[in-house]
Amino acid sequence: MEHHSNSVPWQILCEERVAKLLVVPITDEGELQLDEYEKLLSPRTKIVSVVHVSNTLGTINPVQRIVELAHARKIPVLLDGAQAVPHLPIDVQELDCDFYAFSGHKLYGPTGVGVLYGKAKLLEAMPPYQGGGDMISSVSFEKTTYNVIPYKFEAGTPNIAGVIGLGAAIDYVNEIGLESIAAYELELLQYTTEQLQEIPGIRLIGTARERAGATSFVLDGVHPHDIGTILDQEGIALRTGHHCTQPLMDRFGVPATARAALAFYNTKEEIDALVRGIYKVKEMFAS
């Protein structure tokens, strides 16, 4: 269920290091098979990387258990939190993950900026990945001494405006309260699921017990792109396509899905409008 951004970099690394990428299978409901995950962990496993919340299915993965199983074998864990931070309270110390990453625009901030958290002992052991100003302590032609973390990884002039914008977005979300956001969005998600399941010919893609943020579906006899085009004319915005999760589309045997990405600013009335729009799609294709 991983976004391409949590697959492609590992594939590149595997080519460079002659390593092997192992993938945890998922159930028909869109949940990770933890028993299979545990079987994949071995003395040769160097790192575990998994999405916290699926951008396509909305599945909330049991990341604490995933971290515990990996740490029992002294394997570090990186969590992709891009889809989690807008919907759930996140405590990296409680999760005990080794790395946690998210992008600013998913949290209603600017594009081109994000956050990477890492445990100090791991960051201190890593060399800088980029050279430039601020990542050095001293430089001579004989030797360069690197700066302390986090500056060691912040080469060159940072995206100052983007960081300020992201800070404002974080303040905005914290003012509303992530606990309140999570509770309201869960209510909205349950309502959306109930309403969509009443529509004949619709199939929900991903019905995990723990979900947040996204509802993906397909409609018999109608390509998702056509669903999106017709709903757009009704003033309803959906995402359609493979959502940068092509292997997931292959897993469910569909070329694409239509996805309603829910957030705290949505309402039940908008879900009702979505349902009416889908019925209009069905009428147009029936004729």
Structure tokens at 115: 């956050």
Among all chains, which residue has been given the structure tokens 């606990």? 179
Query: Residue 280's pLDDT band (boundaries 50, 70, 90)?
Result: very high
CATH assignment at residue 233: 3.90.1150.10
Tell me what pLDDT residue 133 has.
Answer: 86
Q: Is 169 a domain residue?
A: no
Indicate which residues carry an active-site annotation. Answer: 244
- Which pLDDT tens digit goes with each residue over 171-192? 999 999 999 999 999 999 999 9
CA torsion, ordered 216, 218, 223, 226, to nearest 10 deg? -60
Q: Is residue 144 part of a domain?
A: no
Nearest to 32 by CA among 57, 7, 68, 12: 57
Q: Report helix, strand or coil for 238.
A: coil
Is there a domain that residue 94 lies in? yes
With b for 16 or more beta-carbon neighbours within 10 A and e for fewer, the 72-107 pattern comes to: eeebbbbbbbbbbbbbbebeeeebebbbbbbbbbbb
204 and 263 both lie in a single domain = yes
What pLDDT score was predicted for residue 252? 97
The contacts of residue 140 (CB under 8 Å, 6+ apart) are: none
Percent of residues, the chain, with pLDDT higher than 90 = 97
Distance from C-alpha of 116 to C-alpha of 159, rounded to nearest angstrom? 14
Between CA 77 and CA 61 the distance in angstroms is 13
Within-domain flag for 90: yes
Asked if 205 and 216 count as a contact pair (C-beta separation under 8 A), the reply is yes
Asked if residue 85 has pLDDT above 80, the reply is yes
What pLDDT digit, counting tens, does each position of 195-235 carry?
999 999 999 999 999 999 899 999 999 999 999 999 999 99
Q: What is the CATH number of the domain that holds 12?
A: 3.40.640.10
- Determine, yes or no, domain membership for 145: no
Last-in-domain residue among 130, 155, 189: 130
Domain end residue (candidates: 130, 145, 165):
130
Consecutive H or E run containing 181: helix 178-197
- Same-domain check for residues 126 and 29: yes
Mean pLDDT of 80-108: 97
- Judged against a pLDDT cut of 80, whether residue 135 lies above it is answered with yes
Residue carrying structure tokens 């909205």: 188
Domain containing 200 equals 178-286
Q: Are residues 124 and 185 in the same domain?
A: no
Mean pLDDT of the chain: 96
Which band of pLDDT confidence, cut at 50, 70 and 90, is reported for residue 266?
A: very high
Q: What is the pLDDT of residue 69?
A: 98
Residue type, 64: Q
Under the banding of pLDDT at 50, 70 and 90, the label for residue 124 is very high
Instruction: Using the predicted structure, report yes or no on whether residue 287 has a pLDDT greater than 80.
Output: no
Is 215 inside any structural domain? Answer: yes
Tally DSSP H helices, then E strands, for the chain. Answer: 10, 10
Instruction: Read off the tokens for 35.
Output: 């028993």
The SS3 assignment for 99 reads strand
**Has residue 150 been placed in a domain?**
no
Do 120 and 189 lie in one domain? The reply is no
Phi, psi of 89 (to 5 degrees): -65, 135
Final residue belonging to a domain, choices 108, 130, 152: 130
In a domain, 69, yes or no: yes
Based on the structure, what is the number of domains in the chain?
A: 2
